[in-house]
Amino acid sequence: MGPFRPDLLKGKTVLVTGGATGLGRAMAEGFARHGASIALAGRREEKLQEAAEAFREAGHDVFVQSCDVRDPSSLSALADALDERFGGVDVLVNNAAGNFISPTERLSPRAVDAVLNIVLHGTFYATLEFGKRWIAAGRGGTMLNIVTTYAETGSGFVAPSAAAKAGVLALTRSLAVEWARYGIRQVAIAPGPFPTEGAWARLAPTPELAERMADRIPLKRVGDKQELADLAAFLVSDYASYLNGEVVTIDGGEWLQGAGQFNSLLEVTPEQWDRLAELTRTGGKGQ
Ligand code: HXC
Ligand code: NAP
């Protein structure tokens, strides 16, 4: 059981890009459990069919269509199909992404484009396609953009992703103001590490790297997909209708741990603290 009423999203149709796998799928399942009709889009037909079957088995209303967010005509065909099937959508979740760790100096221009085209251009194209339709139809809507904590800070070894997600965050905040007059609301989630097949294969492909992910987090664990799905359900619901342009971080305190200058003192033992307490009281001379 989640924290919300089962009819929280009743009457809403939600499109999740990249919704057949990982966090997109977990969010979509959460929306469906709260009464929403669901549309999933992604490039791989077999992943979409697999997800559709699971949704239908659970008794949920689902529509899937293969779509490449890098291709505006593919998005337009998807939007046409959704107009026909549901009479349009109420919520767009820009979740599709591409990423991998690499020293930046090893990247080719094509490698940079591979990430920027999905994350920044794909999100922008989907936003344009559905935003224009909502404006033309005089109906409002909610856009939920999935970014990362390092969209604010930047991060080495994922520079294309950091640059692209920072762009998506800027888009979120720009349109929060510009499109509010059309009844279009913008929100974002910045997740810390949540193990998914897609992310772990490209960002933590060894057990050592995976362990390091959890170690950095003050709560000493990675996120549970359900925690993210519950946050997303609230943010796209009418109960969040005054939230606009906000990015909500869900990372167990990870990014703050990296930011605070003295946070590495978490490693100091109680005995070491006894000694340090003497030194800090005696100007570093001790007893
Ligand atoms: C260096 C790489 C590379 C790698 C691809 N390239 N993978 N370079 N290291 N690991 C280079 C290729 O050599 C090529 O350049 C160029 O990138 C394009 O490669 P393609 O394989 O043709 O790209 P494409 O088929 O478009 O695939 C895009 C992709 C792929 C991003 C590379 O991984 C993908 O489809 N990912 C989708 C799912 C995903 O990434 N999920 C994780 C999201 S996690 P050259 O010059 O050789 O031709 C996330 C959150 C992170 O975003 C936060 C965690 C805490
Ligand atoms: P994932 O399972 O790999 O999800 C990425 C999805 O995007 C896949 O379903 C993929 O499907 C789809 N996709 C990629 N390129 C696409 C394109 N061109 N057109 C349409 N769909 C495309 O990884 P995830 O971990 O769940 O990531 C989901 C979101 O969370 C991403 O925005 C990611 O940046 C964000 N995030 C994840 C974490 C984490 O720790 N997992 C942390 C911070 C942020 P196809 O390949 O079939 O197209």
Say yes or no to pLDDT of 1 above 90.
no
Q: How confident is the model over 98-116, as a mean pLDDT? A: 97
Point out the ligand nearest to the CA of residue 17. 2
Q: Which residues contact 127 (CB under 8 A, 6 or more apart)?
A: 92, 94, 143, 171, 175
What pTM was computed for the model?
0.97
Among 100, 112, 146, 158, name the best residue to mutate to test ligand 1's pocket (greatest count of ligand atoms within 8 A of Cβ): 100
Residue listed under structure tokens 């194209």: 125
Q: Are 209 and 268 in contact (CB under 8 A)?
A: no
At 129 the pLDDT is 98
pLDDT in tens, 168-182: 999 999 999 999 999
Q: Is the pLDDT assigned to residue 188 strictly greater than 80?
A: yes
Instruction: Determine the atom of ligand 1 nearest the C-alpha atom of 111.
Output: 17
Quote the longest CA-to-CA distance of the chain: 80
pLDDT of residue 244: 98
State if residue 111 touches ligand 1 by the CB under 6 angstroms criterion: yes
- Only one residue has tokens 């606009």, namely 244
Cα(118) to centroid(ligand 1), Å: 10
pLDDT tens-digit series, residues 115-155: 999 999 999 999 999 999 999 999 999 999 999 999 999 99
| Distance between CA atoms of residues 166 and 119, nearest Å | 10
List, for residues 8-60, the tens digit of each pLDDT value.
Answer: 999 999 999 999 999 999 999 999 999 999 999 999 999 999 999 999 999 99
Fold of 13-280: Rossmann fold (3.40.50)
Give the ligand with the smallest distance to the CA of 103.
1
Cα→Cα distances 262→118, 168, 232, 257, 268, Å: 37, 31, 33, 9, 11
For residue 96, report the distance from its CA to the centre of ligand 1, in Å: 13
Residue 162 CB–ligand 1 contact under 6 Å:
no
What sign results for the dihedral spanned by CA atoms 101, 105, 106, 110?
A: positive
d(CA 190, CA 26): 15
- Domain ranges for the chain: 13-280
Find the Cα–Cα–Cα–Cα dihedral 106, 110, 115, 116, rounded to 10°: 120
The amino acid present at 192, given as its one-letter code, is: G
